[in-house]
Structure 1
Amino acid sequence: MQQNPQNQDVSLQIKKLDNQILRRIHSLYDRRKMQECTLQNMWVTDFLFHQEQLGEPVFQRDVEEEFAINRATASKMLTLMEEKGLIRRVSEDRDGRRKELRLEPAGRKLQQRYSTIREELEQQLVSGFSLEELDLLRCFLARMQANL
């Protein structure tokens, strides 16, 4: 079969890789055991955990920026995460309208499970790459994100 030149588009290649990554992650965990948590829930708990380790408070706007999602999507996702007992929103002392996002025990447990999955996936993804190649890849990906 002859290769379609459009199949070489970077955007299509990234989408294919994304599909493969999602399939691989789903093969590594059972959603029922993890309270039907989505991959986005896992990524957010991991983000909150690491920001907490740095002593940095996290607000909805930070989640929107980190994951390149819009306000409505972030709000709905965070509300569902709160209903699942993964996070809680705490009013900020200086401005009661702003709600800091904090991990609940169930969110910490999810983050610990996800951390193992993430490490395994990362090792598999970057296998055979030199440190220089990985640095270049990260640079290229950051430039593509900035271009959009």
Structure 2
Amino acid sequence: MEKEEPRHIGFEIKQTSKMIHRYINKLAAVEHANEMTGTHAWILRYLWENRNREIFQKDIEKRFDINRSSATGLLKLMEKNGLITREPVPYDARLKRIVMTEKAISLHKSVKEDIDLAEERITKGISAEELELLRSVLSRIRDNLSSAKDMEE
């Protein structure tokens, strides 16, 4: 009898994350092939949900847990594709708030539909209680990793 390989939770999460990422990119590509990726769609959704407050690059970095250079690259591409602008704020010359363009605002409805469709597919057959437990466990995993001394820079 063959010994079963251990199922490491980190690997399971990574594989699931890759599948979700591919699925959302496929949805985004159907209508917006050369304009945005799935990650851009998530960022647009975040900007839309926070449209009544100023959002800066550091907010994107924190919300999506990405480093500065990754955020810079994402935002530069979104700017190049006409999805956002970066506008200076009068109270600090170093800061530039991120603003959705009219193009991005008009794409928002389909972006929302794509994300809602993906969420529906991802959570199919999973009860509200199971989803709440999953959120709780994932939150504890993130807390465990963010408090790890060996991860501090």
Residue 50 of structure 2 is aligned to residue 51 of structure 1: yes
Q: Distance in 2 between matches of 1:40 and 1:60?
A: 15
Report the Cα offset of residue 32 of structure 1.
Answer: 7.0
Q: Please, which of 111, 114, 126 is the counterpart of residue 123 of structure 2?
A: 126
Identity of aligned pairs, percent? 31
Task: Report whether the alignment pairs 1:117 with 2:132.
Answer: no
Counterpart of 1:21, as a letter, is I
**What's the TM-score once normalised by structure 2's chain length?**
0.84
Classify 1:100/1:114 alpha carbon distance in 2 versus 1 (closer, same or farther; 3 Å): same
Superposition pairs of residues 1-148 of structure 1, within 5 angstroms: 2=2, 4-6=4-6, 8-30=7-29, 33-52=32-51, 55-148=52-145
Q: Deviations over 1:25-44 (max 9, x none)?
A: 24434367443412211111
Q: Return the alpha-carbon distance in structure 2 between the equivalents of residues 59 and 98 of structure 1.
A: 7
Contiguous gaps of at least 5 residues in structure 1? none
Describe the SS at the equivalent of 2:94. coil
Number of matched pairs? 145
Structure 2 CA distance, aligned partners of 1:42 and 1:109? Answer: 13
State the superposition RMSD in angstroms. Answer: 2.0
**1:110 Cα offset (Å):** 3.2
Contact 1:44 1:63 in 2 (8 A): yes
Hey, what's the Cα distance between the residues in 1 that align with 2:138 and 2:111? Answer: 23
Q: CA deviation at 1:3?
A: 6.8
Deviates more, 1:17-26 or 1:115-124: 17-26
**Contact 1:42 1:110 (8 Å CA) reproduced:** no
Q: Show structure 2 runs of 5+ residues with no match.
A: 146-153
The one-letter amino acid paired with 1:51 is N
